[in-house]
Amino acid sequence: MKTRVTKYLMRDKTGIRRSVLKLFIKGKPYTTQDVFEALKLEGFDVNYRGVSAMVGLMNTRLGILRIDVKGDHNVYSIKLEYNNPVKLIMDNY
């Protein structure tokens, strides 16, 4: 997991991936809309579909997120066992 997250962050040219991971390590669940709005507030030039794709890829490639399907929306949160390790990786990256 450490290698996957480190490589994922190494390819982050704009800081957007780091921002999304920071959001998730707060421990709250987020919908794609929540992530989209948070990134817009930080000044990133993003669209909803791009954010949706990015969060979906984070889930499948990194394996650190869990998904709860609530109605029409997926609600993403970081798996508890990965919260501290991801935080440590980001602190040392």
Cα 8 to Cα 34: distance, rounded to the nearest angstrom: 21
What band does 93 get if pLDDT is binned at 50, 70 and 90? confident
Domain count, the chain: 1
88: containing domain = 2-92
Does the predicted model carry a pTM greater than 0.85? yes
pLDDT per position as a tens digit, 46-90: 999 999 999 999 999 999 999 999 888 899 999 999 999 999 999
Residues, the chain, total? 93
Report CA torsion sign: 36, 38, 33, 1.
positive
Buried b (16+ CB within 10 A) or exposed e, 21-38: bebbbeeebbbbebbbeb
Q: Which distant-in-sequence residues (6+ apart) come within 8 Å of 53 by Cβ? A: none
Q: Which CATH number characterizes residue 68's domain?
A: 1.10.10.10
